[in-house]
């Protein structure tokens, strides 16, 4: 196992870059590697060093040691200053991070700039500042002897936090967990998705260069079962596990950490609804549902795969959506005006296409899309699918109940508020909902009746990082964001002083 100060090395024989793990302040290769594929054209971007159990163990031990090293002695103000330096480091290498994210995912460069990497900077800065405002409690207590007692709480780090993140918004979601975990004084062993290792690897260099002490932030690459993911969840040295990914994976991880009674924070799947009332601003609703259905090729947990439109405007809305979908530009990430790139992989495309076939079997009317675009160039080796709209399915259809996680939505008419609230809530998931109406009394009333973690009214995915983020039912456990992150990533002790 060779060690070096660089995040990647060359496999001269194959002429490929090899991304490394980052453990205890050093970049480590491994005997086993896997390929990182560009979903635009199927080309190999790099090999990735897969962390074995010994490497994960070494990372957890380094993280444990770091808790009692310089990191554990820093004040919250000093920690916050270091996290701002990490944010500065990301900004200084912003275009490298954009290139890394685009290579792994094929997304439009503009999205990587304005969403993915910008939010990674914001995540570090937000939680650096929030940590300094973390509240504690103090209660003066009357006692029988009249002297009284004083109760106050102190916040302490949990210890070593395991972070496991998905591929759809790689650096945004990776740092959404790493930043608050570090801000609260923990140390971290983090595993990005095997589909999107590049930006997290670059972050490890930025962490080192920002002066984050060895062992505080550790990066291990690999898969889930029988790989780095499972080694991490089952490691006795992990104090808590924060995970974003599929609901089924969340269930598996919950079992893995159960024996150790570990705290978990889960941000899981969704089958989110958009509800368009006849009194909405029609053009704004069309534009909003286009965003909420097709952003990131529908690979956002908050995307609307179910769209309910009040009957008087249903036909007009479907026609408008069909026209707008036909105008979506599928292209190379760097193309001007590109709206949509490929899905993350051929494997994920096969899953999405299986639902495109299933919809026809279930009796859907395919209003737009439903297949694979033909470009006549190297993109035909990529993982592109057509943005797709269905109508005509019953609420019981699998395509209306199961998360597809692609650029597709089903549009159904409704007649009353009570009816649509019941239909929106008739789901195994409960993550997000977007309501479009200019009747704000109705907006407040309906929003409170919908059983999800996040409701947007006349907008979608507008984010204030101080607010709670998370879902109910199969969409997750717990909330992160603002003080909710501080509460998850800290232990609170109560100290009672007899006066
Ligand atoms: N609620 C949210 O905030 C949110 C955000 C983004 C994505 N998601 C969900 O994530 C899913 C898409 O992401 P994905 O395909 O990467 O999800 P996934 O569950 O397949 O993988 C997520 C991560 O978990 C790891 N993993 C898989 N099996 C594991 C196991 N047994 N033990 C430990 N780790 C394991 C993977 O390697 C990856 O790093 C969708 O369902 C989407 O809704 C939810
Ligand atoms: N957690 C967040 C986004 C999740 C997106 C899901 O794909 C966020 O914006 O903080």
Q: What is the pLDDT of residues 439-488, one digit of tens each?
A: 999 999 999 999 999 999 999 999 999 999 999 999 999 999 999 999 99
Contact 293 CB / ligand 2 (< 6 Å): no
- Strand order of the β-sheet with 217-219 is 3-4, 26-28, 21-23, 217-219, 187-191, 160-164, 240-244, 263-267, 476-477
The three-point CA angle 9-12-15 to 5° equals 95
Mutation pick for ligand 1 pocket among 166, 244, 343 (CB with most ligand atoms within 8 Å) = 166
Contact 303 CB / ligand 2 (< 6 Å): no
**25-32 mean pLDDT:** 96
**416-434 mean pLDDT:** 98
pLDDT at 33 over 80: yes
Residue 434 backbone phi and psi in degrees, to 5: -115, 125
Cβ atoms of residues 229 and 206 within 8 Å: no
Q: What is the pLDDT of residues 299-347, one digit of tens each?
A: 999 999 999 999 999 999 999 999 999 999 999 999 999 999 999 999 9
**261-272 mean pLDDT:** 97
As beta bridge partners, residue 219 has 22, 190
pLDDT at 6 over 90: no
pLDDT at 128: 98
Name the residue ranges covered by the structural domains of the chain.
3-268+476-498, 272-464
Residue 200 backbone phi and psi in degrees, to 5: -65, -35
- Half-sphere exposure of residue 245: CA atoms within 13 angstroms, side-chain side: 25
Contact 469 CB / ligand 2 (< 6 Å): yes
- Rounded Cα distance between 272 and 306, Å, is 6
Chain mean position to CA 144 = 52
pLDDT at 198 over 60: yes
Instruction: Share the mean pLDDT of the chain.
Output: 97
Cβ atoms of residues 257 and 228 within 8 Å: no
As beta bridge partners, residue 244 has 267
pLDDT at 58 over 80: yes
Tell me the CA–centroid distance for residue 413 and ligand 1, in Å.
32
As beta bridge partners, residue 44 has 37
Q: Is 140 a catalytic residue?
A: no
As beta bridge partners, residue 306 has 273, 410
- Rounded Cα distance between 435 and 459, Å, is 8
- Rounded Cα distance between 234 and 247, Å, is 18
Q: Which of 325, 302, 281 is nearest to 462 (CA)?
A: 302
Question: How many Cβ atoms from other residues are within 10 Å of residue 335's Cβ?
Answer: 14
Sign of the dihedral defined by the CA atoms of residues 285, 290, 295, 301, in that order: positive
Mutation pick for ligand 1 pocket among 177, 245, 255, 303 (CB with most ligand atoms within 8 Å) = 245
**157-161 mean pLDDT:** 98
Q: For strand 490-498 and strand 149-157, is the pairing parallel, antiparallel, or unpaired?
A: antiparallel
Sign of the dihedral defined by the CA atoms of residues 328, 332, 337, 343, in that order: positive
Whose Cα sits closest to atom 3 in ligand 2?
173
Chain mean position to CA 334 = 23
Q: From start to end of 248-370, where are the E strands?
A: 263-267, 272-276, 304-310, 365-368
CATH topology of domain 272-464: Aldehyde Dehydrogenase; Chain A, domain 2 (3.40.309)
* Residue 12 neighbours by CB under 8 Å, 6+ apart: none
Which ligand sits nearest to residue 267's alpha carbon?
1
pLDDT at 3: 56
Whose Cα sits closest to atom 8 in ligand 1?
245
- Rounded Cα distance between 21 and 219, Å, is 5
Tell me the CA–centroid distance for residue 463 and ligand 2, in Å.
9
Question: How many Cβ atoms from other residues are within 10 Å of residue 304's Cβ?
Answer: 29
Question: pTM for the whole thing?
Answer: 0.97
Q: How confident is the model at residue 1 (pLDDT cuts 50, 70, 90)?
A: very low
Q: What is the pLDDT of residues 221-251, one digit of tens each?
A: 999 999 999 999 999 999 999 999 999 999 9
Cβ atoms of residues 475 and 269 within 8 Å: yes
pLDDT at 15 over 90: no
pLDDT at 11: 81
Quote the tokens at residue 370: 């439903």
User: Of all helices (H) and strands (E), which one includes residue 65?
Assistant: helix 53-67
Quote the tokens at residue 416: 């009353």
Do 3-268+476-498 and 272-464 come out as alike in CATH topology?
Answer: no
**92-120 mean pLDDT:** 98
The DSSP code for 77 is H
The DSSP code for 450 is S
pLDDT at 157: 98
Length of the chain: 499
Contact 169 CB / ligand 2 (< 6 Å): yes
pLDDT at 10 over 90: no
- Look up the ipTM and state it: 0.98
Which is the catalytic residue, given 50, 195, 205, 267? 267
- Rounded Cα distance between 394 and 392, Å, is 7
Long-range own/partner contacts, residues 395-401 (CB < 8 A, 24 or more apart): 395/423, 395/426, 397/359, 397/362, 397/363, 397/364, 398/355, 398/358, 398/362, 399/355, 399/358, 399/359, 399/362, 399/364, 400/271, 400/306, 401/271, 401/427, 401/428
pLDDT at 5 over 80: no
Q: How confident is the model at residue 12 (pLDDT cuts 50, 70, 90)?
A: confident
**13-19 mean pLDDT:** 87
Cβ atoms of residues 455 and 123 within 8 Å: no
Residue 367 backbone phi and psi in degrees, to 5: -75, -35
Mutation pick for ligand 2 pocket among 126, 169, 467, 481 (CB with most ligand atoms within 8 Å) = 169
* Ligand 1 shell residues, CB under 6 Å: 164-168, 173, 191, 193-194, 223-225, 229-230, 233, 244-246, 249, 252-253, 267-270, 301, 403, 405, 431, 471, 475-476
**420-426 mean pLDDT:** 98
Ligand 1 atom having least distance to the Cα of 225: 31
Cβ atoms of residues 466 and 437 within 8 Å: no
**11-40 mean pLDDT:** 93
Q: Which CATH superfamily is domain 3-268+476-498 in?
A: Aldehyde Dehydrogenase; Chain A, domain 1 (3.40.605.10)
**136-160 mean pLDDT:** 98
Contact 168 CB / ligand 2 (< 6 Å): yes
- Rounded Cα distance between 75 and 72, Å, is 8
pLDDT at 4 over 80: no
Q: From start to end of 268-303, where are the E strands?
A: 272-276
**379-406 mean pLDDT:** 98
Contact 300 CB / ligand 2 (< 6 Å): yes
Contact 463 CB / ligand 2 (< 6 Å): yes
pLDDT at 294 over 80: yes
């Amino acid at each position: 196992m060779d060690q070096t100060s660089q995040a990647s090395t060359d496999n001269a024989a194959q002429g490929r870059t090899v991304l490394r793990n980052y453990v205890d302040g050093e970049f480590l290769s491994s005997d086993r590697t896997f390929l990182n594929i560009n979903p635009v054209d199927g080309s190999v971007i790099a090999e990735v060093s897969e962390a074995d159990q010994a490497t994960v163990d070494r990372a957890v031990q380094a993280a444990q040691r770091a808790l009692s090293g310089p990191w554990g002695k820093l004040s919250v103000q000093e920690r916050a200053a270091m996290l701002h330096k990490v944010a500065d480091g990301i900004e200084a290498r912003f275009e490298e991070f954009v290139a890394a994210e685009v290579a792994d995912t094929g997304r439009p460069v503009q999205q990587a700039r304005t969403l993915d990497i910008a939010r990674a900077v914001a995540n570090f800065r937000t939680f650096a500042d929030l940590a300094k405002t973390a509240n504690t409690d103090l209660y003066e207590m009357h006692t029988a002897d009249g002297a009284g007692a004083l109760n106050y709480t102190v916040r302490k780090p949990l210890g070593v936090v395991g972070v496991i993140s998905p591929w759809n918004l790689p650096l945004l979601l990776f740092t959404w967990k790493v930043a608050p975990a570090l801000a609260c004084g923990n140390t971290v062993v983090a595993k990005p998705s095997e589909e999107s290792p590049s930006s997290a690897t670059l972050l490890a260099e930025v962490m080192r260069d920002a002066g984050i002490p060895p062992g505080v932030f550790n990066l291990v690459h690999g898969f889930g079962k029988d790989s780095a993911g499972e080694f991490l969840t089952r490691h006795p040295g992990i104090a808590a596990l924060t995970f974003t990914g599929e609901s089924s994976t969340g269930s598996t991880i919950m079992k893995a950490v159960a024996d150790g009674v570990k705290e978990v924070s889960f941000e899981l799947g969704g089958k989110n609804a958009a509800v368009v009332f006849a009194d909405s601003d029609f053009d704004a609703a069309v534009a909003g549902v286009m965003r909420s259905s097709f952003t990131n090729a529908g690979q956002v947990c908050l995307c609307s795969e179910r769209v309910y439109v009040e009957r008087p405007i249903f036909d007009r809305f479907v026609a408008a959506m069909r026209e707008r979908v036909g105008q979506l530009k599928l292209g190379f990430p760097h193309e001007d005006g590109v709206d949509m790139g490929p899905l993350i992989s051929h494997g994920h495309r096969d899953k999405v296409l299986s639902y495109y076939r299933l919809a026809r079997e279930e009796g859907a009317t395919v209003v737009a899309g439903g297949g694979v675009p033909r470009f006549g160039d190297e993109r035909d080796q990529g993982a592109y699918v057509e943005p797709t709209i269905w109508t005509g399915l019953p609420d019981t259809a699998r395509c209306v109940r199961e998360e597809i996680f692609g650029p597709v939505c089903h549009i159904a008419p409704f007649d009353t508020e009570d009816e649509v609230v019941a239909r929106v809530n008739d789901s195994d998931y409960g993550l997000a909902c977007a309501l479009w109406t200019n009747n704000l009394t109705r907006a407040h009333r309906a929003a409170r009746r919908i059983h999800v973690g996040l409701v947007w009214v006349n907008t979608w995915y507008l984010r204030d990082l101080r607010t709670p983020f998370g879902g109910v039912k199969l969409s997750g456990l717990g909330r992160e964001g603002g003080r909710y992150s501080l509460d998850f990533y800290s232990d609170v002790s109560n100290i009672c002083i007899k006066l």
